[in-house]
Structure 1
Amino acid sequence: MTEEENIDIEKELDELLTKIQPDLQDVIKRSFTNVALQQTKNGEQIKPDILEDISYFAKNTQVNLTRIELLKPPTFHMQAVSLDLKSMGLTLRCSLGEVNIKGLYSAFNENLYNLIPVMAEGHVLISLSNVTADVNVGLVIEDDAYSFINPGIEFSHDEVLVKLSWPSPQRSGGYEFVTTEQLAKHIDDLPLTAAISLPLFALLRLKLERHLRQVLRQATSVSDVMCCNPSMLEAYSSMVDRLAENGNRVVDLVLINMRRTLLQTCREVLELPPLHATFLHKIGSVSFIGKLETDTGWVKNLATINRINDVSVSRLDPMMTSFHVTLSIKDLQIGYDEYRIKAMGVSCAGRAEASFRDNALRLALRVGLARWEPYAQLDDLRLTRLDGMDLHASGLGPLSGLSSKLRAWLRAAPVASAIAAQLQHELRTALAELSLWDVVHGKR
């Protein structure tokens, strides 16, 4: 193909993408509704979604949440959609309605245990009203169908309601359930709900991603979009490949710089604060008071961070380019070199560490010109998923029954915030050192 023919086909492709975009947007909207109807009709959920046990620490109180269950699978209703085929991007907003989770809680507070029955154990119900999701994904071509990468999904809601119910002994004998309620404007406003926000939103993201993947697969074929024109399809594939190559080059430069400085400055190992918990441990109908203490903990292997797929690139105007990518820490580990537990008159001590084989971070950055001065800016970098926990603990011995609680205690460590803070610092340093404007525009 001559250079002139190549220019012509690229011009035709640009005109075609502009022409078909509104129609394809409508097709995606209809497919979104159809998939929701199929799932409702098929009664998709057979078994409930269960979250792992979770703990949180607040002053001298430690609370365990167990048997946490999503009460009803959310139904996704699209409210708005915007498609950009030239940047291979899709944004949409959808409603999930009310999201409810229930479970059991057990809590112990050294000062108040004998005064307030709610500090013992009972049922918890958490309700988030009017939940919406703002979604931003990059599009890719897989087997003649559209799929997506680098999902950015932000949840919002009107308010969160927490109901705690516990059995209260009556003077005439027997027990009666008493309920207390607490309202907040945001899930992170209350310690109990903040502890559950990361795994809950990770579960909702997973469900929404599955829904969207099915929507795109059913929407249309890429060859139909290209009017079954082989030359046009080839030009379109080349355009998509170039976008990914340019984005990969930019983000890989940043990640190489980050990994190098993490290793050179010995900052790939972070410190975690010690854990202290007073807890209730039940064997049959008998409850025992126990204590956990640890020395300072650690998070390590931050320098194994890398992208797990191509970078999504969008150019909102000639002066600004945005990059979105999903990252993972290949060998993420946390641990405490010494923990001590006392319960039932028995004590044990040992080392506890855990690895998370299923973790994901969302990175968004932009490169542009402001008053003709180049800049590179970090928009977002945070942990969005922390699952697949493998726990290794030595020394539990006679208290081996506490292994599930130990898993929850390690999950209560502020891992997400520690990782985000350190990586954001390293990334801003890398952006200041690299001339990304020149890289984006092929000057380097």
Structure 2
Amino acid sequence: MSEEETVDIDQELDDLLTKVQPNLQDVIKRSFTNVALQQTKNGEQIKADSLGDTSYFAKNTQVNLSKLELVKPPTFHMQVISLDLKSMSLALRCSLGEVNVKGLYSAFNENLYNLIPVLAEGHVLISLSNMIADVKVGLVLEDDAFSFINPGIEFIHDEVLVKLSWPSPQKNGGYEFATTEQLAKHIDDLPLTAAVSLPLYALLREKLQRHLALVLRQATSVSEVMCCNPSLMEAYSGMIDTLAQNGNKVVDMILINMRRTLLQNCREVLQLPPLHATFIHKIGSLSFIGKFETDTGWVKNLATINRISDVSVTRPDPMKTSFQVTLRIKDLQIGYDEYRIRAMGVSCGGRAAASLQRHALHVALSVGLTRWEPYAQLDHLRVQQLDCSDLHVTGLGPLSGAAGLVSAWLRGAGCALAAPALAAQLQRDLHAALADLPLWDLLHAKH
């Protein structure tokens, strides 16, 4: 193919993408609604969506939450959509309405004194009103349809209402349930709601991503978009490959720098503060107050960080290129080398550790020129999922029934302690890598 023919094909592709984009955007919007109707009609979502037992640790606040589940499955209603076929990106906003989580709680601390008794257990209902999801994904070609990579999904809501009820002893004997409510502006403002923030959003992201995958598979035919023209399809595939290669080159160089500095500076293992938990251990109708405490903990293997897909690249203007990528740490683990439990007059101790296999980090960064000076900046790095699996606990002995509680405490420590420590450390190393590397030159190198 001559150079002139190549230019003609590139121009023809540019014109075609500009022409078909509005119609394809409308098709995706209709498909988004149709998928929601199909799921309702087919009677899907019969089984309640559940969250794992967890705990929250901060200062002298510690709460345990169990048997958590969504009161009803969320329904996604699209409000706004923006498609960019030249940058292979899709952005949308959808409403989930009110999201409710119910379960059981136990709390032993001073910080909740004004809300509930210092020592209490009962039912909790968490209501998040007017939940909105802002979604941005990169697009790829898969079996003649568009699919997505590097999902960036952020949730906002109006207010969070926590309703608690617990058995209160009466003067004449017996119990009746007392109730109280507390209102906050953000899910992370209250210990009971902060405990479910990360796992709840991870569950909602997972459901929304499954919804979007169905939408794109049903709504799009790439060959139809390309008018079944092999030359245009080849040019489109080449354009997509070039975008991904440029993005991969930049992000891989950053990750190599980060891995090296994490190892050289001995920062691939992060310290976590000790845990102190009070719990109720039940045997039949009898309840015993127990204590759990640890020495300093750790989260490790940060230097195995890598991307799990191609990088998504957009060019908002000729002087700026933006990148989005999903990162994972190959063997991320959390643990405490020394723990102690006392309950029912029995003491035991040992080591507790768990794998954090189910995790995802979403990163957005930009490279560009400002006043003809190159810059590289981190737009955000967010832990979007972090869940424990493969729990290993030694030394429980007569308190082996507390294994589930230990799992919940590690899951809670992962969300409340490990996730922010992990994000802060990786942000520092990513900022350093962006300052060290000539990314503008790398991106615009002549071959």
Tell me: CA distance 1:225–1:110, structure 2 relative to 1, closer, same or farther (3 Å). closer
Superposition pairs of residues 305-320 of structure 1, within 5 angstroms: 305-320=305-320
The structure 1 residue matched to 2:429, chosen from 426, 432, 435, is 426
The residue matched to 2:387 in structure 1 has which SS?
Answer: strand
Cα distance in 1, alignment partners of residues 110 and 432 from structure 2: 45
Deviations 1:89-111 (A, max 9, x none): 00000000000000001122489
Q: Identify the residue that residue 417 of structure 1 maps to in structure 2.
A: 420
Superposition pairs of residues 92-171 of structure 1, within 5 angstroms: 92-109=92-109, 117=117, 119-171=119-171
Q: Identify the residue that residue 48 of structure 2 maps to in structure 1.
A: 48
- The alpha carbon displacement at 1:157 in A equals 0.4
Amino acid at match of 1:399: L
Cα distance in 2, alignment partners of residues 330 and 423 from structure 1: 15
The residue matched to 1:239 in structure 2 has which SS?
Answer: helix
- The alpha carbon displacement at 1:388 in A equals 5.0
Cα distance in 2, alignment partners of residues 28 and 357 from structure 1: 33
Q: Which moved more, 1:165-174 or 1:252-261?
A: 165-174
Cα distance in 1, alignment partners of residues 220 and 306 from structure 2: 32
Mapped contact 1:55–1:411 kept (Cα < 8 A): yes
- The alpha carbon displacement at 1:59 in A equals 4.1
Amino acid at match of 1:235: A
Mapped contact 1:110–1:278 kept (Cα < 8 A): no
The residue matched to 1:412 in structure 2 has which SS?
Answer: helix
Q: Identify the residue that residue 374 of structure 1 maps to in structure 2.
A: 374
Identity across the alignment (%): 78
- The alpha carbon displacement at 1:441 in A equals 1.1
Tell me: CA distance 1:110–1:370, structure 2 relative to 1, closer, same or farther (3 Å). closer
Q: Identify the residue that residue 193 of structure 1 maps to in structure 2.
A: 193
Mapped contact 2:116–2:180 kept (Cα < 8 A): no
Count of residue pairs the alignment pairs up: 443
Amino acid at match of 1:135: V
Deviations 1:40-82 (A, max 9, x none): 1112112111100011134444211000001111000000000
Cα distance in 1, alignment partners of residues 378 and 149 from structure 2: 19
Cα distance in 2, alignment partners of residues 98 and 85 from structure 1: 33
Tell me: CA distance 1:253–1:116, structure 2 relative to 1, closer, same or farther (3 Å). closer
Q: Identify the residue that residue 364 of structure 2 maps to in structure 1.
A: 364
Mapped contact 2:350–2:395 kept (Cα < 8 A): yes
Q: Which moved more, 1:58-67 or 1:297-306?
A: 58-67
Tell me: CA distance 1:72–1:46, structure 2 relative to 1, closer, same or farther (3 Å). same
Superposition pairs of residues 287-306 of structure 1, within 5 angstroms: 287-306=287-306
Cα distance in 2, alignment partners of residues 203 and 331 from structure 1: 22
Q: Identify the residue that residue 26 of structure 2 maps to in structure 1.
A: 26
5+ residue gaps, structure 2, are none
Mapped contact 1:61–1:277 kept (Cα < 8 A): no
- The alpha carbon displacement at 1:30 in A equals 0.5
Mapped contact 1:364–1:380 kept (Cα < 8 A): yes
Tell me: CA distance 1:116–1:39, structure 2 relative to 1, closer, same or farther (3 Å). closer
Q: Identify the residue that residue 71 of structure 2 maps to in structure 1.
A: 71
Deviations 1:383-404 (A, max 9, x none): 1111251111110111111111
1:346 aligns with 2:346: yes
Q: Identify the residue that residue 213 of structure 1 maps to in structure 2.
A: 213
Tell me: CA distance 1:443–1:265, structure 2 relative to 1, closer, same or farther (3 Å). farther
Q: Normalized against structure 1, the TM-score is what? A: 0.97
Superposition pairs of residues 78-97 of structure 1, within 5 angstroms: 78-97=78-97
Q: Identify the residue that residue 238 of structure 1 maps to in structure 2.
A: 238
Q: Identify the residue that residue 326 of structure 2 maps to in structure 1.
A: 326
Mapped contact 1:62–1:279 kept (Cα < 8 A): no
Tell me: CA distance 1:3–1:116, structure 2 relative to 1, closer, same or farther (3 Å). closer
- The alpha carbon displacement at 1:198 in A equals 0.2
Cα distance in 1, alignment partners of residues 74 and 228 from structure 2: 37
Cα distance in 2, alignment partners of residues 89 and 267 from structure 1: 35
Q: Which moved more, 1:397-406 or 1:39-48?
A: 39-48
5+ residue gaps, structure 1, are none
Deviations 1:315-363 (A, max 9, x none): 0000100000000001001111101111110000101111111211001
Amino acid at match of 1:435: P
Amino acid at match of 1:428: H
Q: Identify the residue that residue 9 of structure 1 maps to in structure 2.
A: 9
Superposition pairs of residues 219-298 of structure 1, within 5 angstroms: 219-298=219-298
The residue matched to 2:19 in structure 1 has which SS?
Answer: helix
Cα distance in 2, alignment partners of residues 111 and 47 from structure 1: 35
Cα distance in 1, alignment partners of residues 58 and 367 from structure 2: 41
The residue matched to 1:259 in structure 2 has which SS?
Answer: helix
Amino acid at match of 2:262: L
Tell me: CA distance 1:335–1:51, structure 2 relative to 1, closer, same or farther (3 Å). same
Mapped contact 1:60–1:277 kept (Cα < 8 A): no
Q: Identify the residue that residue 177 of structure 1 maps to in structure 2.
A: 177
The residue matched to 2:309 in structure 1 has which SS?
Answer: coil
Q: Normalized against structure 2, the TM-score is what? A: 0.97
Cα distance in 1, alignment partners of residues 205 and 389 from structure 2: 19
Deviations 1:286-317 (A, max 9, x none): 11111111111111100000000000000000
Tell me: CA distance 1:130–1:227, structure 2 relative to 1, closer, same or farther (3 Å). same
